[in-house]
Amino acid sequence: MKKTSTRLADGRELIYYDLRDDIVRDAADRRPLERTVTTSEIRRDPLLGDRVAVASHRQGRTYHPPADECPLCPTRGDRLSEIPDSSYDVVVFENRFPSLAGDSGRCEVVCFTSDHDASFADLGPEQARLVLEAWTDRTSELSHLPSVEQVFCFENRGPEIGVTLGHPHGQIYAYPFTTPRTALMLRSLAAHREATGGENLFDAVLERELAGERVVLEGEHWAAFVPYAAHWPYEVHLYPKRRVPDLLALDEAARTEFPQVYLELLRRFDRIFDRRDGGGGEDDRVAEPPTPYIAAWHQAPFGTLDEFDGVERDDFALHLELFTIRRTSGKLKFLAGSESGMSVFINDVPPERAAERLREVASS
């Protein structure tokens, strides 16, 4: 992998990640951009104890542009974009309309490929591995910023999720605090250790799931399963079998196997809702629109964990949570009164049935 860092016309950082070492990235951003001005601030809710990012400048962000005006495609001729070069493998750059900025953290965009019409599931193993290396590198770099306590790599896919740019991409949020969801995990981790005399909760969960009926697929170094108390109709957690706190700690064997396992998982997600029309043969399969999903990496915070009763970073288990808001063909799962008002999820699909379905639709 070759890494080349440069600057856009308004001063934001842009980084190329290339598969070949002989690639030269010296194209200049020719757009007449002024310096980016943000109004992001973090406010703490005194009743719930969580935090809200207030970022009014995001009202003016790019919204569903036509494909020939996509800001994430390479620059071609007079069609100028966020990526000055005419081609790229993987690119990461500072978000022009960040939710977090300055002392409030940082937001970045990760372009998985220059192919506008592709998706992550369409990538080859080498390209997917390059994305993994980019996630890892950015986690390392962002963790050293004074304002950053936790790094979150994720992908929103599909207009149903709220995606406003159709180009295959993800994001990285570098928070100046430990997020509420991670804090809940750390408290559960501490409580379980106390109750069991030292057992690691993540290890116990993975062991239980691997022995049960909700395993979706399993490799030598990774395992994917539908969790016992899945919140979403189709939700899969992907764990390395050797517990590590973050992407930085993955060994070479796990990095090598990751593309194979993850790409297979994404391709199965795209087949969940396909249905038969007629005789039941492969030619009779009716494909649904691409499955909308969120793919979220959970990593240990880099800040102090003193408030979590002695829990250390190495006690946390890196894992990816992948889920869709589609509950059946043509129908979405909305977060209504119970979910949005009281944070109590109601799942219409039994996790055991979801796991069975994901095994049935093996892309091979």
User: Annotated active-site positions, please?
Assistant: 169
Q: Which helix (H) or strand (E) holds 182?
A: helix 180-196
Residues 6+ apart with CB under 8 A from 134: 15, 17, 90, 92, 110
* Joined tokens for residue 271: 């087949």
**Residue type for 295, please?**
A
Strand order from edge to edge, sheet including 234-240: 2-7, 13-18, 90-94, 106-111, 169-175, 150-157, 293-298, 319-324, 234-240, 222-225, 215-218
Question: Comparing C-alpha atoms, which of 191, 206, 196, 193 is closest to residue 238?
Answer: 206
Residues 6+ apart with CB under 8 A from 310: 190
Q: CB-side exposure of 235: number of CA atoms within 13 Å?
A: 18
Measured distance CA(154)–CA(157) in Å, rounded = 10
**How distant, in Å, are the alpha carbons of 66, 268, 306 from that of 183?**
40, 31, 12
Measured distance CA(356)–CA(159) in Å, rounded = 27
Yes or no: say if 51 and 41 are a contact pair by the CB < 8 Å rule. Answer: no
Yes or no: say if 111 and 168 are a contact pair by the CB < 8 Å rule. Answer: yes
